[in-house]
Amino acid sequence: MPDGSTPPAATSANASLTSPNVTDSDEILLMEQLVPIVVPILFGIIIVLGLIGNALVVIVVAANAQMRSTTNILIINLAVADLLFIVFCVPFTAADYIFTFWPFGDLWCRTVQYLIVVTAYASVFTLVLMSLDRFLAVVHPIASMSVR
């Protein structure tokens, strides 16, 4: 507007974005109260689903002799790496969201951080091997039988 005032539409849009009753400190306080509750619940769901799913993969492939192919062995390796991550890393990361301090000691802190890196590398390298295996099976199907 030529007189320098704000148009009515812009004023109402800005008013709906910022509420006069909610301040930044209130939002931070709300987040500080919600995170220690919501994040461990989500991590708990991940733990339960991850344990069930990965354990089923290991059991099914290991129990059936006809399923023991190169690809399925790599899938078992990936499931075991995921199980190790779920058992040794996720619960302690969830605890890190609950507490304002690390209650498990310095040695376990270092061990958990080490296991996070090792299981991540195991998963990544297993996926790389699976990709290489699939590449060889598709591009060189006859020659790869002896290599795989």
Arithmetic mean of pLDDT, 104-109: 94
pLDDT at 128 (0 to 100): 95
Is residue 105 predicted with pLDDT exceeding 80?
Answer: yes
Can you spell out the DSSP letters for the chain?
A: -TTSPPPHHHHHHHHHHS-TT--HHHHHHHHHHHHHHHHHHHHHHHHHHHHHHHHHHHHHHHH-GGG--HHHHHHHHHHHHHHHHHHHTHHHHHHHHH-SS-TT-HHHHHHHHHHHHHHHHHHHHHHHHHHHHHHHHHHSTTTHHHH-
pLDDT in tens, 112-148: 999 999 999 999 999 999 999 999 889 988 887 777 6
Which pLDDT score is estimated for 21? 61
